[in-house]
Structure 1
Amino acid sequence: MGLKDWLVPQDKLFFDLFEEQAETVNKAANHLYYMVQNFDDVKNKCHKMKTYEHKGDDITHSIYQLLNRSFITPIEPEEISRLASGLDDIIDHIDDTARQMYFYDLDETDEYMIELTRLILAQSEELQKAIYGIRDLKHPKVIEEHCIEINRLENLADDVLGHAIQELFTTDDALRIIKRKDIYETLEIATDKCEEVANVLGDIAIRHS
């Protein structure tokens, strides 16, 4: 255990890492939202997205390392593990979307991609607020409110996906259908992953109500 670990309480280190991971999710979501609205220089934008994905992996690794050497944790070890893996999954799917757009040589984005990325960004902002709240758990009801909003946004994403697929299948361009359907679905899965993290946070809040 390093000198910093002796000087900084273990509880604080967990929360520091979760807040850093939530910030990384938000930055990745912001970058994807910007990318779909300014769809040029895609290769370099994908490269920048990969830096967020690598940072997310590093933070997740740090959380697991800290968990493995901690006898007492501020929240249940299973909750720590689920939060860490869930936040990492969100970044992975955001990164996957950017890579799909590049490797599929997508010609342009559309209103459905823009709306889905907007919903992911909105969810990431709610996640940040909820994760800040678990540091002291003084206001569990506020955390629950953020989680409810994340779930509402996920339901909206389901609707957007349905409309996108419905419109997509009005064309007989098989290659276009395959490419765009994959991208729409990866974006929607990212919203599902946000909801999964919200469910963990909601459970934590309920236990401290």
Structure 2
Amino acid sequence: MGIKEWLIPQDKVFFDLFEQLAGTVVLAARELEQIVTNETDPAQTYKKIRELEHKGDLITHEIYEHLNRTFITPLDPMEISRLASALDDVIDYIDDSAEKLIIYKITEYDKSMQDFAQIIHLSTIQLECGVRGIRSFKNGNVLEKCGIEINRLENMADDLLAQSILRLFATEDPMTTIKLKDIYECLETATDKCEDVANVLSDISIRHS
């Protein structure tokens, strides 16, 4: 690496990588939604999600590698680290949710699972929009709108979890209750992680506005 590369902020590299990571998160969320809406073969779709999770790990690692090599960065190094970690957490919980569906041998996907998956997918679309917005901090309104929508969706997921668990404990099959509760909580955590990304984006927007 030449002296010029050390001195000039590598804006494009970091922003490109963040957009790639956010796009990968969206793809994983879409695959999860397709599982619970019976649009694809669950085992094959889970394999795709695993591949996307691995791709996300590689992109996250590349972000950290660039962070370690770049002298001047377009964002504070801690902001870059927090955003990479938060996005990686989202795809991890999407992967975990899909894995639980396979491990527990779920063959019938109820309305709660479908609603959770839709909320996750919609949240990741908003995340991708927000990540694109950090290329220019003139897009503060865009980041704010994305954050508000993600927060609204996360609140919906909170309510959905409460209602879903309430219905579960009205059943007489304890094993089914345990399995579904674990799945619902994992899906809801994915929406929490989306909100974590939105909070990081909000902090970045405030700091650089």
Question: Normalising TM by the smaller chain, what interval?
Answer: over 0.9
Residues 161-198 of structure 1: CA distance to partner in whole angstroms, max 9, x if unpaired? 01100001101201101110011000000000000010
Determine what percentage of the aligned residue pairs are the same residue.
54
Structure 1 distance, partners of 2:48, 2:9, is: 33
Structure 2 distance, partners of 1:109, 1:74, is: 44
Gap runs ≥5 in structure 2: none
Moved beyond 3 Å, runs of 4+: none
Q: Answer yes or no: is 1:155 the counterpart of 2:144.
A: no
Tell me whether 132-141 or 187-196 shows the greater mean CA deviation.
Answer: 132-141
Instruction: Give the 5 Å matches for 1:108-119.
Output: 108-119=108-119
Q: How many Å apart are 1:67 and its aligned residue? A: 0.5
Partner residue in 2 for 1:132: 132
Structure 1 distance, partners of 2:90, 2:175, is: 27
Q: How many Å apart are 1:107 and its aligned residue? A: 2.6
Q: Which AA in structure 2 matches 1:100?
A: K
Structure 1 distance, partners of 2:80, 2:130, is: 14
Match of 1:139, SS state, is: helix
Partner residue in 2 for 1:58: 58
Partner residue in 2 for 1:207: 207
Q: Which AA in structure 2 matches 1:60?
A: T
Contact map agreement 1:140 1:208 (CA 8 A) in 2:
no
Q: Which AA in structure 2 matches 1:149?
A: E
Structure 2 distance, partners of 1:194, 1:102, is: 23
Structure 1 distance, partners of 2:193, 2:110, is: 23
Instruction: Give the 5 Å matches for 1:56-135.
Output: 56-135=56-135
Q: How many Å apart are 1:142 and its aligned residue? A: 1.8
User: Under a length normalisation based on structure 2, what TM-score does the superposition of the two structures give?
Assistant: 0.94
Structure 2 distance, partners of 1:31, 1:134, is: 26
Q: For the structure 1 residues 146 and 40, does the alpha-carbon distance in structure 2 shift closer, same or farther, using more than 3 Å as the test?
A: closer
C-alpha RMSD over aligned residues: 1.6
Residues 127-183 of structure 1: CA distance to partner in whole angstroms, max 9, x if unpaired? 111111101211212211111111111000000001100001101201101110011
Residues 101-120 of structure 1: CA distance to partner in whole angstroms, max 9, x if unpaired? 00111131100010011011
Structure 1 distance, partners of 2:100, 2:11, is: 38
Contact map agreement 1:30 1:121 (CA 8 A) in 2:
yes
Q: How many Å apart are 1:208 and its aligned residue? A: 2.7
Partner residue in 2 for 1:29: 29
Q: Which AA in structure 1 matches 2:64?
A: Y
Q: How many Å apart are 1:39 and its aligned residue? A: 6.5
Partner residue in 2 for 1:19: 19
Match of 1:100, SS state, is: helix
> Matched residue pairs, number?
206
User: Under a length normalisation based on structure 1, what TM-score does the superposition of the two structures give?
Assistant: 0.94
Structure 2 distance, partners of 1:116, 1:91, is: 15
Q: How many Å apart are 1:40 and its aligned residue? A: 6.0
Match of 2:137, SS state, is: coil
